[in-house]
Structure 1
């Protein structure tokens, strides 16, 4: 039986009086492309932060690659093969694209600078941005910055001597937010393509509101609302489901259970 890469067991999380996760279970398996969707403010990004170890649940158990995570990940600690691509890319404005992508390797690895530049060039090629390493974030478009953020998340897994013992799990927080349709398509294509590279990505989760991104990058959807995963199933089934929250969400109607 295949073991899940990620597992929530009776996980709860609240911020003040707001319940974000209410005693939920979740399993993510190798090879899956999972979309975490739901209304704004429902706590989708919190799911990613709990998985990444940036936020600790109030109760319940979180397992990554079969290892239980206790508390949050401290600086320098092994994050168990989880990489996050942040919504705003989180690039350093004063560093070049090359320096941004290789930042962790320049600071923490023993690789010579020339080797790191070679890995950065490979990562840029994978995300469709060859030859852009000498530019600064202010000199590239929003869509390109999103792809640079993805290159940074995968660069350490390109070299087998650096790749984590555990397969890499990628998590995307609104990767196409604020992009025009063409730029969104480019980012969506990269997300799908990267998962095919051996050792780069074993599975991914993506938080998004964009319908094109849901359709083009996910095979499975979990719908979060009022602290519960209200629906969990194949993406193509979600669009034909008679579940009230799905029907309202995809139609954009103000009438229904989502308030």
Structure 2
């Protein structure tokens, strides 16, 4: 846990259902400044739903979200948070018809009065931070899967000089290494830690199933199952706990308290 324990994001009594399926059931969660938190658990248990609620992309059915101590009142396009929250989607979510520079700078082109030259400078600085200098004119189809992931990282950490409150202080990663080979995964894992240390937002929350990603990029872990946080602790504890749910998850056993859905 970060030394100062400063809470940046607090979820209180968050519940969310889709039809008759209860995805989140009265979840409480605090995210602290400087924290590297992994949310793990079986597929379909609400991990990505939590990220979307934190990002303001999805409104909960019940409960409150506090950002830097202020209760969130707006959602999606109406959001007015006191700190910036960036999100990296599982599939990178790039526009195929826009080049890399236009993808990364999209929000600044759309929502600010900054000159094109200023935006391009900011974008190129972020592309260099993620190890992709000089590719601004390429299109997503010309990039490997790992490169597309890194472009989405650059977009998530792009600052907004017109409104410093929108500069990303928290990054949300949804399966950042999904679909990548082990070497490409290592590049992404190293990048996540490098960005945390070097000004790309030092607080992040990550949904992942990848063992190496959990071990190499997380400090704390929460285990989500049946709409509730069933266990929490640091990474070393996650791999040594006697909790039967966590042990079954990491062992991959079909026998245990986690119900297998065919």
TM alignment of 1:210-225, pairs within 5 A: 210-225=210-225
Q: Deviations over 1:172-221 (max 9, x none)?
A: 111111000111111111111111233x3141000011111111110000
1:118 deviation in Å?
A: 1.1
Distance 2:69 2:88 in 1: 23
Kept in 2, the 8 Å contact 1:191–1:217? The answer is yes
Kept in 1, the 8 Å contact 2:159–2:168? The answer is no
In the alignment, is residue 146 of structure 1 matched against residue 110 of structure 2? no
TM alignment of 1:82-161, pairs within 5 A: 82-156=85-159
Q: Deviations over 1:77-115 (max 9, x none)?
A: 434411111111111101110111011112222222111
Structure 2 unaligned blocks of 5 or more: none
Distance 1:69 1:78 in 2: 8
Q: Deviations over 1:146-175 (max 9, x none)?
A: 110010011125x5x653267611001111
Query: Which of 78, 81, 86 is equivalent to 2:80?
Result: 78
Distance 1:62 1:166 in 2: 19
- What is the TM-score when the length of structure 2 is the normalising length? 0.92
1:167–1:180 Cα change, 3 Å:
closer
- What is the aligned-residue RMSD (CA, Å)? 1.6
1:28 deviation in Å?
A: 0.6
Q: Deviations over 1:93-142 (max 9, x none)?
A: 01110111011112222222111111111101111111111110000001
Q: Paired residue for 2:55?
A: 52
Kept in 2, the 8 Å contact 1:56–1:71? The answer is no
Equivalent pairs counted in the alignment come to: 255
Q: Deviations over 1:20-75 (max 9, x none)?
A: 11112110100000001000001100000111111111112111111111352325
In the alignment, is residue 227 of structure 1 matched against residue 227 of structure 2? yes
